[in-house]
A and B are shown apart, each in its own frame.
Chain A
Amino acid sequence: MQPLSVGDPERTVLFLALLGIFAYQGFQRGLIAEMVKLGLVFVGFAVGQPTLLGSTVVNVINNAYGTVRFMLGSSRGLTTSDAGATRVQTQLIRAQNTDIALFTMMLALIGIGYLVSAKMKRSNPIMGLLAGAVNGLVLTYFFLPALPDQVPIQPPVGAEAVISQSAPNMGQVGLQIALAPFALLYQQVNTWIIPIIIVAILFFALRSIKTH
């Protein structure tokens, strides 16, 4: 995976806008909902990568499909005369459809995360704001590099754009995600990052003090 590019102003603006939207959504939904969403985003991403969970999930689905067909007595594809043809016919997800299937599953899991989090009770909105920003960061980190370099920015052209990327080292990705806001801010505002952090801490602290 290419590291998140912050040199391109269009991407930076898009990145900051997305971060703001996700942070606001996190504030509205609360911490627990955002954590659930974050978990499903990670699972969705892992399923979308054949080298992480993708191949395993496809195998499990195909095996389960074959087993169900066998148990239901639908043995059209279970003739013993041609083992290769049998294997192909009992696959629900065939090799040529693997990429698009994984991409669909990834989107479905992320969508489920959103639906579940929308139904959850709001709790701890300030931490939810932070968790929402982290969610935005994770999603943009995963998907922004898939966008084309030319402006105007277009959505990914297809499943291949995301799925074909090699699996990243998850620990390294985690560290980069954790440091990305500071790296991004430092590149954009240089030493003004210090006053910005001071203002952010004071805003966060003062906002949590109840005067009544």
Chain B
Amino acid sequence: MGPLEILWACITLFFVFFALVRGYARELGVTTLIFVALFVITQFGEKYVPAILVLIVQRIGSTALSPRTQQHILSNFFSLVFILIIFASYAGETFAIKGRANTTAPTALLLNLLVGLLNGYLVAGTLWYFQDVYEYPVVDLGLLTLPLSPFAETAANFLPPYVVPPLFWAGMVMVLLLFRVKD
């Protein structure tokens, strides 16, 4: 795998394309579910899942997991849950914001672009965060070589869960839900 920031940029670009095709009103539904996922994972998941993991290991009578193994399990678990939520937000009956979206050419294009960038940043940034906070488990699989480039080191300081408190996500979910139910 090449530099991590290139992968990050590619994922973001995919979400920009999705937004350009689907329109920002639909993409805001995805944004809502990303906010929900971020709130649940950062507020509760990171706190309780490690404890539950230790409890499970004790119950099945296995030897205690090494810290690195725990990091592998937690990183993969949170990444998987997050990806499943993103997948669910796109599959089947989607959670779109009600109403007529603006279709005026320059404004609609700009909005599609901005919302696509936002979703891309949130998804790619969160997946990166699950690597960064658990000290890059993918390195052990030979998928990434450390150290990161200077740019990636700087960019890693701006990953969504690092710069935004969990309650902000909850607040944003409330705003979006209020807007959705508003007649």
Nearest chain A CB to B116's CB is how many angstroms away? 10
Q: Is the CB of B158 within 8 A of A209?
A: no
Q: B30 near A: Cβ within 8 Å?
A: no
Of the candidates B25, B118, B183, which one forms a contact with A198 in the assembled complex, judged by CB atoms under 8 Å apart?
B118
Q: Is the CB of B114 within 8 A of A205?
A: yes
A211 vs B24: C-alpha distance when bound (angstroms): 15
A204 vs B114: C-alpha distance when bound (angstroms): 10
Q: B111 near A: Cβ within 8 Å?
A: yes
Nearest chain B CB to A131's CB is how many angstroms away? 11
Q: B115 near A: Cβ within 8 Å?
A: yes
Q: Is the CB of A191 within 8 A of B157?
A: yes
Q: B176 near A: Cβ within 8 Å?
A: yes
Q: Is the CB of B100 within 8 A of A209?
A: yes
Q: Is the CB of A211 within 8 A of B107?
A: no
Q: A127 near B: Cβ within 8 Å?
A: yes
Task: From known contacts A124-B107, A195-B163, A198-B118, infer whether A209 and B157 are also in contact, taking CB-CB under 8 Å.
Answer: no
**Using a CB-CB cutoff of 8 Å, which residues 1-45 of chain B contact chain A?**
24-25, 28, 31
Q: Is the CB of B101 within 8 A of A209?
A: yes
Q: Is the CB of A205 within 8 A of B168?
A: no
Task: From known contacts A124-B104, A127-B106, A204-B111, infer whether A194 and B99 are also in contact, taking CB-CB under 8 Å.
Answer: no
Interface bits A169-212 vs B (CB < 8 Å: 1, else 0): 00000000000000000000001101100110110111011110
A19 vs B131: C-alpha distance when bound (angstroms): 40
Q: B97 near A: Cβ within 8 Å?
A: yes
Nearest chain A CB to B83's CB is how many angstroms away? 21
Q: Report the count of interface residues on B (CB-CB < 8 A).
A: 31
A159 vs B75: C-alpha distance when bound (angstroms): 63
Q: A126 near B: Cβ within 8 Å?
A: yes
Q: Is the CB of B115 within 8 A of A205?
A: yes
Q: Is the CB of B160 within 8 A of A194?
A: yes
Q: Is the CB of B157 within 8 A of A211?
A: no
Q: Is the CB of B102 within 8 A of A208?
A: yes
User: Can you name the residue of chain A whose Cβ is closest to the Cβ of B111?
Assistant: A205
Of the candidates B97, B100, B168, which one forms a contact with A206 in the assembled complex, judged by CB atoms under 8 Å apart?
B97
User: Can you name the residue of chain A whose Cβ is closest to the Cβ of B182?
Assistant: A211
Q: Is the CB of A191 within 8 A of B163?
A: yes
A126 vs B107: C-alpha distance when bound (angstroms): 8
A208 vs B99: C-alpha distance when bound (angstroms): 10
User: Can you name the residue of chain B whose Cβ is closest to the Cβ of A198?
Assistant: B118
Interface bits A121-153 vs B (CB < 8 Å: 1, else 0): 000101100000000000000000000000000
Q: Which residues on the B side are within 8 Å of A195 (C-beta)?
A: 163-164, 168
Q: Is the CB of B24 within 8 A of A205?
A: yes
Q: A127-B107, A195-B164, A206-B175 are in contact. List 4 more A-B contacts (CB 8 A).
A: A127-B106, A192-B163, A201-B115, A206-B97
Using CB atoms and an 8 Å cutoff, list the residues of chain B in contact with chain A: 24-25, 28, 31, 97-102, 104, 106-107, 110-111, 114-115, 118, 157-158, 160, 162-164, 168, 172, 175-176, 179, 182-183
Which 5 pairs across A and B sit closest by C-beta, in order of nearness?
A208-B102, A191-B163, A209-B99, A211-B99, A210-B100
Using CB atoms and an 8 Å cutoff, list the residues of chain A in contact with chain B: 124, 126-127, 191-192, 194-195, 198-199, 201-202, 204-206, 208-211
